[in-house]
Structure 1
Amino acid sequence: MRQIVLDTETTGLNPRTGDRVIEVGCVELKNRMLTGNNFHCYINPERDSEEGALAVHGLTTEFLRDKPKFAEIAAELRDYISGAEVIIHNAPFDLGFLNNEFKLLGLPTFTEHCSSVIDTLANAKEMHPGKRNSLDALCDRYGVSNSHRKLHGALLDAELLADVYLSMTRGQNSLSMDLEVETGNDGAELEVVPLAIVIELAASADEIAEHESLLGGLDKAVKGTCVWRNYI
Structure 2
Amino acid sequence: MSRQIVLDTETTGLSAEGGDRIIEIGCVELVARKLTGNNKHFYLNPERDSHEDALRVHGISNEFLKDKPKFAAVADELLDYLQGAEIIIHNAAFDVSFLNKELELAGRPAFRSFVDSITDTLAMAKELYPGKRNSLDALCDRLGVDNSGRTLHGALLDAELLADVYINLTRGQDALLIIDDAQDSAGGANFVQIDLRSFALPVLPASEQEAAAHEEVLTQIDKASGGKTIWRNCEGLQKAMP
Q: TM-score range by the shorter chain?
A: 0.7 to 0.9
SS state of the match for residue 172, structure 2?
coil
Cα 1:74–1:175 change in 2 (3 A) is closer
Match of 2:147?
Answer: 146
Q: Distance in 2 between matches of 1:68 and 1:205?
A: 68
Q: Distance in 2 between matches of 1:146 and 1:11?
A: 23
Please tell me the root mean square deviation across aligned C-alpha atoms, in Å: 2.3
Q: Distance in 1 between matches of 2:44 and 2:29?
A: 20
SS state of the match for residue 25, structure 1?
strand
By how many angstroms is 1:73 displaced? 0.5
Match of 1:20?
Answer: 21
The TM-score normalised by the length of structure 2 is: 0.74
Q: Distance in 1 between matches of 2:40 and 2:97?
A: 20
Q: Distance in 1 between matches of 2:200 and 2:67?
A: 63
By how many angstroms is 1:202 displaced? 6.2
Quick check: which one's strand share is greater? 1
Cα 1:158–1:202 change in 2 (3 A) is same
Match of 1:129?
Answer: 130
SS state of the match for residue 15, structure 1?
coil
Specify the code of the residue in structure 2 equivalent to 1:168. L
The TM-score normalised by the length of structure 1 is: 0.77
Q: Distance in 1 between matches of 2:56 and 2:110?
A: 29
The gaps in structure 2 that reach 5 residues or longer are 178-197, 218-242
Superposition pairs for residues 124-203 of structure 1, below 5 Å?
Answer: 124-171=125-172, 173-174=174-175, 199-201=199-201
Match of 1:227?
Answer: none
Match of 1:34?
Answer: 35
Match of 2:7?
Answer: 6
Output one character per residue of 1:102-144: Cα deviation in whole Å (capped at 9) or x when no partner: 0111111112111000000001000000000000000000000
Specify the code of the residue in structure 2 equivalent to 1:199. F
SS state of the match for residue 74, structure 2?
helix
Match of 1:60?
Answer: 61
Output one character per residue of 1:63-103: Cα deviation in whole Å (capped at 9) or x when no partner: 00000000101111100100000000000000000011001
Identity of aligned residues (%): 65
Specify the code of the residue in structure 1 equivalent to 2:201. L
By how many angstroms is 1:174 displaced? 4.1
Match of 2:80?
Answer: 79
Cα 1:172–1:18 change in 2 (3 A) is closer
Task: Could you list the structure 1 runs, at least 4 aligned residues long, displaced by more than 4 angstroms after superposition.
Answer: 202-207
By how many angstroms is 1:201 displaced? 1.0
Specify the code of the residue in structure 2 equivalent to 1:85. E
The gaps in structure 1 that reach 5 residues or longer are 177-197, 214-232
